[in-house]
Structure 1
């Protein structure tokens, strides 16, 4: 505790590099940070009494962890010495973003290929090719999504395990492949067709269902499911 009090009262720039959240994140990645370090990185600055690490630690202890902090109020935060309305709003905005993300994911349901296209239409503006995979439950509700390839994509080189490993993580039922054609129309190449056949076959063998493969062009999209191509694979 004495060590913590000493560290938390020092200026961040005077701490050893291994204790600085920003430097640690740049060197080892965000996953290497503790809850307090992540919160400190988001807060940016501390108070007159505590540096940003000390403030993050104080908040976590007072509100019993990150999960409980999702429901804190402005009044609760401004009761803490050194936290005014501006700092309180900064903290609350972090958790409001998280709640909105959770809400969107919980309420995203793909009933038609058009629903999927609406979700991934932003790919039509991308200059580089990307392949995304959307994972759903039995109600076609989005559980999560992963980017499995970025840059110049040859679908033959996309590893099936990169598609199926997250499916187990999300405990998914359905898989939807999505990739874009930045420079051309959204019609499938022969490689696209063969790749879709491969993933369809592997999905059945492993226990998932390939619901669709969407190709996004600049102005339109192609759906294997809508065109009845999955039925004939």
Structure 2
């Protein structure tokens, strides 16, 4: 840690080339860089008292590659030395990466079999789990999340956990799937009541519970 802090406070020209992301990329290829080193190249400069290597390491340690995709302006400006300009630069990088990923072929959910393919592992679970699947207006898969876990056949689900991820994914449709470890395929009375509640709440919030 002391060595890292020593490096972070140095000017880049004072560091050996093996520690410099640009020189490393030119020598070994861009694919040889860590996420932190890639971010350092994209940012170009650090902040007062910390070079770009230290800043990038700090950001990646704080948020990680997954959370960085959904980080907010206010999250970044809480970091000492990062103002709105630098925060917007980081957000632009994250948004660009998301758009590149979104150009990849998307999974379209148009039938029960399509849904089954992405949730079939549930049949092997011994605990009851509620899985929420999120789609856009074209029924393209945006993501899936386990929103509740029970003990044996007891499941306590909260609507706010389901809608939290709907907002996170900027989703239109929500598909809910859960298993019955005891083997029953029929929805319980509680399942039906909870689904009806979610349908009502989803309409109020601008989402739609899909029945594919």
CA contact (8 A) 1:136 1:144 kept: yes
Q: Kindly tell me: are residues 105 and 180 of structure 1, through their superposed partners in 2, closer, same or farther at Cα, counting changes over 3 Å? A: farther
Q: Which has the higher strand share?
A: 1
What TM-score results when the alignment is normalised by the length of structure 1?
0.48
Aligned pairs for 1:190-229 (under 5 A) are 190-212=189-211
Aligned residue in 1 for 2:173: 174
Aligned residue in 2 for 1:147: 146
Residue deviations 1:122-169 (CA, integer Å, cap 9, x gap): 1111111111101100000011121111132645x3111111121111
Runs of 4+ in 1 over 6 A off after TM superposition: none
Name the SS for the 1:181 alignment partner: coil
Structure 2: which 5+ runs fail to align?
Answer: 9-17, 20-32, 44-96
Structure 1: which 5+ runs fail to align?
Answer: 9-48, 66-97, 213-224, 226-233
Aligned residue in 1 for 2:123: 124
CA contact (8 A) 2:131 2:147 kept: yes
CA contact (8 A) 2:128 2:154 kept: no
Residue deviations 1:2-34 (CA, integer Å, cap 9, x gap): 9648569xxxxxxxxxxxxxxxxxxxxxxxxxx
Q: Kindly tell me: are residues 60 and 173 of structure 1, through their superposed partners in 2, closer, same or farther at Cα, counting changes over 3 Å? A: closer
Aligned residue in 2 for 1:95: none
Q: Distance in 1 between matches of 2:119 and 2:135?
A: 15
Q: Kindly tell me: are residues 114 and 205 of structure 1, through their superposed partners in 2, closer, same or farther at Cα, counting changes over 3 Å? A: same
Q: Distance in 2 between matches of 1:106 and 1:142?
A: 10
Cα deviation for residue 105 of structure 1 reads 7.9
Aligned pairs for 1:60-79 (under 5 A) are 60-61=39-40, 63-64=41-42
Residue deviations 1:91-140 (CA, integer Å, cap 9, x gap): xxxxxxx99xx579851110012210111011111111111101100000
CA contact (8 A) 2:137 2:172 kept: yes
Q: Distance in 1 between matches of 2:120 and 2:103?
A: 16
Q: Distance in 2 between matches of 1:182 and 1:166?
A: 25
Q: Kindly tell me: are residues 154 and 4 of structure 1, through their superposed partners in 2, closer, same or farther at Cα, counting changes over 3 Å? A: closer
Q: Kindly tell me: are residues 184 and 137 of structure 1, through their superposed partners in 2, closer, same or farther at Cα, counting changes over 3 Å? A: same
The number of aligned residues is 135
CA-based RMSD of the aligned residues comes to: 3.5
Q: Kindly tell me: are residues 194 and 108 of structure 1, through their superposed partners in 2, closer, same or farther at Cα, counting changes over 3 Å? A: same
Q: Kindly tell me: are residues 132 and 205 of structure 1, through their superposed partners in 2, closer, same or farther at Cα, counting changes over 3 Å? A: same
Q: Is residue 185 of structure 1 aligned with residue 207 of structure 2?
A: no
